[in-house]
Amino acid sequence: MRARAAGLVLGFVADRVFGDPRRGHPVAGFGQVATALERRWYADSRGRGLLYCTGLVGAAAAAGLIAERSAPPAARVPLVALATWAVLGGRSLEREALAVHGYLDRGDLPGARRRLTHLVGRDTSELDESEVSRAVIESLAENSSDAVVAPLVWGAVAGVPGLLAYRASNTLDAMVGHHNDRYERFGWASARLDDLVSLPGSRLSGLLTIAAVPGRGKEAWSTWRRDASAHPSPNGGVVESAFAGSLGIRLGGVNQYYGNRVEHRAVMGSGRPARPTDIVRAAEIARRVCYGAAFVCGAVSLVRRRVKLHTSDA
């Protein structure tokens, strides 16, 4: 467990320093395998989608378990660190968010709309400055939980198998967990599994968001309690509402997606509309949340080790 704690922290530091690998990213490789298997296994069926999901997530967990158990003691810290770095995406998320802010700060709204497509799947072509800002902040909130806090939680609880299985689940949800004609049934299991495994990370993210801005902790908590349940995601609503309360702004509203799909999301928060300067503030909150998660999850790993040793001695 000491190696696990050290590996989690080192992997987190690697993500903060280097961001995602430019080439040969393991998550991209997993996505390619998942796409190839989808071509073979796809059917408009929940059962077939369940097999697809459990097969891929189970394979990721098994690979992590084999790697962890076969690694010599001297390799355990580097192994956990490498797996952690591979599955985290906090630094790259922050870079993309601040890149959009840079365009807005220069008055280049078309450039901001184009760069925003790196963060969100919605149609950005007609968004005004406030809507671009809202989209960035929503992405920062939800993805700080999904791409940093939740994997660290599973790394603390289950080591390398937990890290890889969580990232596999989250990746499949992004690929097939959509409400459309093709994936409504086939992607159902992937979407539900991601909702389940992301739940502890989103709650920790919400609490860390409250702690990140103590002066607005009361507002963040009350916004979470009042608005989170109206969000279509049981996890996204927690972090978005907490961010909205911490920033004193409104998130949510109408989202236009490609293919003319329109989603009317509940409003999170009761403040003013988002502004470009709020992106910088949100990025700072996200950074504090991520650092807090690394500390908490590293500490949990150490506590679990001590409890295990104490139980063994007893």
3-state SS record for 175-202: HHCCCCCCCCCCCHHHHHHHHHHHHHHH
pTM summary value: 0.93
pLDDT given for residue 295 in this prediction: 96
Strand partners, 122: 257
pLDDT given for residue 303 in this prediction: 81
Residue (of 211, 85, 238) closest to 152 by Cα position: 85
Question: How far is Cα 190 from Cα 301, in angstroms, rounded to an integer?
Answer: 28
**Residues contacting 149, CB < 8 A, separation 6+:** 201, 202, 204, 205, 208, 289, 290, 293
Residue (of 193, 170, 212) closest to 296 by Cα position: 212
Question: How far is Cα 116 from Cα 132, in angstroms, rounded to an integer?
Answer: 7
Which phi and psi angles does 191 have, rounded to 5°? -65, -45
Could you state, in chain order, the average pLDDT of each consecutive group of 10 residues for the chain (314 residues)?
A: 91 94 82 95 96 97 97 95 96 97 98 96 93 98 97 97 97 93 95 97 98 96 97 95 98 84 89 97 98 96 65 48
Cβ-contact 268, 240 below 8 angstroms: yes
What are the residue boundaries of the structural domains of the chain, listed by start?
Answer: 2-313
Burial zone of 48 (CB within 10 Å; 0-12 exposed, 13-18 middle, 19+ buried): middle
pLDDT given for residue 1 in this prediction: 65
Cβ-contact 39, 29 below 8 angstroms: no
Strand partners, 268: 251
pLDDT given for residue 305 in this prediction: 59
